[in-house]
Amino acid sequence: MRNPPAPDISGSYVRYDVPLSSLVTWGVGGAARIMFVPRTEDEMSGAVSWARSNGEDFFVLGGGSNVLISDAAFDIPVINTAGMSAITVRERGDTVYMDCLAGTPMKEVLALAAKNGWSGLECAAGIPGTVGGAVAGNAGSKTGSIGSSVELIVTVEPDGSRAEWNGKDIGWGYRSCSLFEGEHRIAQNVTFRTKASSRDEVARLTAETMRGRKSQPVSSRTAGCVFKNPNGESAGNLLDRSGCKGMSVGGARVSESHANFIENHSGSARDIMSLALLCRKKVLDEFGTYLDFEVKMAGVWEVCPDAGE
């Protein structure tokens, strides 16, 4: 594999031929021919500008907990936000603002809030991944979604410039954020708005969220829920009633505890994709309901996940 010309920016955060399987929770995926791991706002803007100036598209990788990357070599540049992790706190009366760089693990944000009794983010308890990914997918649970606590998002725009977006002006939907739909912008910094409460109250609300996750296979290699809940129905329930639990393709298997989770037992991305499409077809045949993917698909596939093939 031939490396592209070195970017006209600091090379200390540029890497080549990086196996993506080591960076995603499913443990599958080909190698990225070039990866940027920016540590500062300027480095992130520089990576985006370089990609665009060289006619390149790019893929943003956070914690790797909600993505399925194909087994083939990943030909477009990857911008990995893992190097951008920091939390700064500002207090204004009873309101506490948590300014978080996009690569900050959500578990660190939640741990800091819980330690200090700051309430507002409990709906994201148990969600892996980074701040940027959580916001881009409006992550949440039955108790709410994270978008309701977003005060401000700073993004890197497709041309490398920066923009600020007030949380109340953003369109928040079920597992979606209007800022990132069809746009190649990257979350660089997110400000969460929380309220000074008590450790006991935050613990109570967190436990309420976690009760809804008790059936999830936390000890297996998964990437969270594979499909979105359609029209208020439970995708897991539809998959269960369609007989998907325990089904397998190669090293991929539908969890026995929650049918909307696919566990990887030394399988490939092709195994996982094939099993997911088989499950979706069974639900469509049984109930006439088409399931949309909640996990993001990246790379080159022999089948088209959006066509139901």
Give catalytic residue positions.
175, 225, 294
Q: Which helix (H) or strand (E) holds 62?
A: none
Is the Cβ–Cβ distance between 79 and 38 less than 8 Å?
yes
Distances (CA, A) of 185 to 50, 74, 288: 14, 20, 35
Q: Report d(CA 181, CA 177) in Å as an integer.
A: 7
Q: Report d(CA 194, CA 149) in Å as an integer.
A: 7
Q: Report d(CA 293, CA 282) in Å as an integer.
A: 15
Other CB atoms within 10 A of residue 173 CB: 11
Vertex 259: Cα angle to 136 and 215 (nearest 5): 80
Half-sphere exposure of 86 (CA within 13 A, CB side): 8
The single-letter code of the amino acid at 196 is A
Q: Report d(CA 228, CA 231) in Å as an integer.
A: 9
